[in-house]
Amino acid sequence: MAMRGVNLGGWLVAEKWITPSLFASTNATDEYTLSSALGSQAKELLKQHRTTFITEPDFAWLTAHGMQAVRIPVGYWIFGDAPPFVGGIEHLDAAFSWAQTHKLQVLLDVHGAPGSQNGWDHSGKSGHRGWHTKKHNVASTLQFVQKLAERYGQHRQLWGIELLNEPHRKTPKKTLARYYEAAYTIVREHTADHVAVIISDAFRPYDWTDVLPAPTHTNMLLDRHFYQCFDAADKALTLPGHLQKCQDWQQDITALQLYKPVIAGEWSLALPGTVRAEDRATYAAAQLAALEHTTAWFFWTYKTENSPEWDLRRSASLLGLTPK
């Protein structure tokens, strides 16, 4: 059985679609432009958001509903050394404390890297995709991974460190593989082998079968994200097509696990267009059946302001989460 987890999206890496109210006073589209627009007010507003959006009772709720882990997206600015971004390492410290109290495992996810690894808003700064084009961006990311590993590598709740979230599919394999190798070495300097090191598939899952192989690299996992709401081909599917794709995922997971254990680092109940409630329940069941073949899955995300199909709290019954 897969370990059951959820992402704490929109918390330490702000996303406008998750918490539009946070962005309401500006024209900002990501955390970089939000922090820039707010200027001297950014620290106070972001601290208020981080203090209230996720709290210890949320961790208690997750444990009570049978969840076992949280995946926490963090940006390279969390230590407070990358203005105009506002740091907030004390909130991540609190998360580890709450996780220990409520017996949840923690997957730390490098969600935002210098220069942006994909040009999307959830990397912290949308637009230009420059992470892989500048050596100092990669070097700074390695330094960030080292800081995370030094601070949390021996924490009893640390389940794993994900080296980079969703690098763009056009990122050269050689660049990514070299980064993954260097980051793996750093993490292993500060962790025991039971702490997983996770690499993203960069939307090219079979590119990584020969990268960081066992037994020279221990407890290496491959992260795939499973969505059916973005691509044109998915948008053209009927419900039977979406359900068939879930079965295809299961076969894909089984094939990939011959090389590396697979996690589903992100998935949701979102489908294109208008979907009946009973169809969403059917889709949820089909996804769960497929993702049970992974090592762990993490629903995206724990809570949103306006998007129930992306919201674990509001989708609990569809996902079979009931208080224990």
> By the 8 A CB rule, do 287 and 246 touch?
yes
Under DSSP, is residue 76 helix (H, G, I), strand (E, B) or coil? coil
- Active-site choice (56, 162, 266, 305): 266
Q: How far is it, in rounded angstroms, from Cα 314 to Cα 304?
A: 9
DSSP 8-state symbol, 41: G
Angle, CA of 151, 157 and 163, to the nearest 5°: 60
Question: Which three-class secondary structure state does DSSP give residue 209?
Answer: coil
Q: Which phi and psi (to 5°) does residue 270 adopt?
A: -70, 135
Name the active-site residue from 15, 31, 162, 166.
Answer: 166
CA-CA distance, 283 to 298, in Å (whole number)?
16
Strands (E), the chain: 3-7, 69-75, 105-112, 158-162, 196-200, 220-226, 262-267, 296-299
Rounded distance between C-alpha atoms, residue 232 and residue 235, angstroms = 5
Q: How far apart are CA 187 and CA 195, in angstroms?
A: 9
> What is the identity of the amino acid at 196?
A
Cα-Cα end-to-end distance for the chain: 18
The answer to whether residue 166 is catalytic is: yes
Active site residues: 166, 266
